[in-house]
Amino acid sequence: MHITIRQLQVFEAVARHASYTRAAKGLHLTQPAVSMQIKQLEGSVGLPLFEQIGKRIFLTQAGEAMLRHAQTIIGHLAAAREEMDDLKGVDSGRLRISVASTVNYFATRLLARFARQHPGVKITLDVTNRETLLQNLERNLPDVVLMGAPPKGLDLQADAFMDNPLIMIAPPDHRFAKRRTIALGNLDTETFVVRESGSGTRIAMERFFNLKAFEPFATIEMTDNEAIKQSVEAGLGLAIVSIHTVELELAAKRLIKLNIKGMPIMRRWYVGHRRGKRLSPTAQAFRQFVIDEGARQAVS
C-alpha cells in the first residue's frame, strides 16, 4: 500500500463533510483534485471507501476502518508538530544535569532560580563524585555537567564560571585556631578526614600535599562532605574541603578555617558538555544562565 499523508487528509475531510464539494472548499482544492486523491487512495487500498446512494455519499465498512486509522495518524502528526515546536523554545523540554557532589551545595540554589524562570522544563539532577561524573559524560547521559577542572583528554566544551577555594577546617578549639600562619609540616601528628579516591577535592588535596612533601600521620576516608564536616566538628581530625560546603558552619563558628601557608588551594568550577553534543535550547539556556550567575556572584 502506497498511501500519502495528503491522501489521508483529503479522505478524512471528505468523510467529515460527507461531501466532495465541501471537502474541496475546506482544503482549497478543486473538486476533481479531491476525487483524484480518493481514487488513488482506493486504488492503493484495493477497496472502495465511499458509496453513493442517491445524492449522498457514505463510508463503506473499509472506509470506516480507514477513517479510524487516518484520524489516528493525523492526530499523531499534529502531536509531533506540537512537541517539535515546544522543543524549539527554552521553556519546555528536559534538562539532565550531573553535578559533582561538592557542587551540590550551590547547584540546588542555581536550579531553583532557573526553574522559576523556566517552569515548564523537566529537570533531573544527578549528584555524584568527579570520577562517576566523567564516566556519565563518556556515556552521553547528562546534557550539562557542573564540575571541577575537566581532564585534558576528554573532548569537552568547558567554561569556568566560579572560583572554588579549598580550605582546611578544624574544630573551634583546635590548638592552632588562633595562629596567623601555619606551615603544613606542623600538622604531621594530625589525623585527616579525607574524601574517597575519585573525588576532585581528594585529587587536589593530594596534589597539594605532594607539592609540600607532606605525609599525613593518619587518614580516615569518607564519601560524603557532610560526614566529613560532622567528623571534624566532633574532633575526629582535620579536613580539606571546598569553602562552598562549610559556609553555614563557618558563620555559626561550629568550624574554623586554619590559616595554612599556601592555602586556599584555588580551583574553579566549570560548566561543560561533550563537544559534539547538540545542546537543546533549554540546555543552552541553562549553560548561559550558570555562566551569568557565576559572573554576577563574582561582582556582588
CA-to-CA distance for 44 and 27, rounded, in angstroms?
22
Q: Under a CB-based contact definition with an 8 Å cutoff, are residues 166 and 265 in contact?
A: yes
Q: Is 200 in the site for ligand PGA (CB under 6 A)?
A: yes
Which one, 23 or 169, has the nearer CB to ligand PGA? 169
- Distance separating alpha carbons of residues 84 and 78, to the nearest angstrom: 10
What residues are paired with 144 via a beta bridge?
A: 97
Of 7, 19, 37, 102, which lies in the binding site for ligand PGA, with binding defined by CB under 6 A? 102
The verdict on 100 binding ligand PGA (CB under 6 A) reads yes
What is the nearest approach in angstroms of ligand PGA to the Cβ of residue 238? 17
Per rule CB under 6 A, count of chain residues that contact ligand PGA: 11
Q: Which of 93, 148, 272, 294 binds ligand PGA (CB under 6 A)?
A: 148
Instruction: By CB under 6 A, tell whether 245 contacts ligand PGA.
Output: no
Select from 58-66, 97-105, 106-114, 175-183 the region that touches ligand PGA (CB under 6 A). Answer: 97-105
Indicate whether 205 belongs to the interface with ligand PGA (CB under 6 A).
no
Nearer to ligand PGA, 33 or 248 (CB): 248
User: Out of 19, 92, 129, 231, which residue is the one contacting ligand PGA (CB under 6 A)?
Assistant: 129
Write the interaction track for ligand PGA spanning residues 155-174; mark x where CB under 6 A is met and - where it is not.
Answer: --------------------
Per-residue DSSP letters for 25-84?
HHHT--HHHHHHHHHHHHHHHTS--EEEETTEEEE-HHHHHHHHHHHHHHHHHHHHHHHH
The answer to whether residues 216 and 181 touch, using CB atoms and an 8 Å cutoff, is no
Residues near ligand PGA (CB under 6 A) are: 100-102, 129-130, 147-148, 195, 199-201
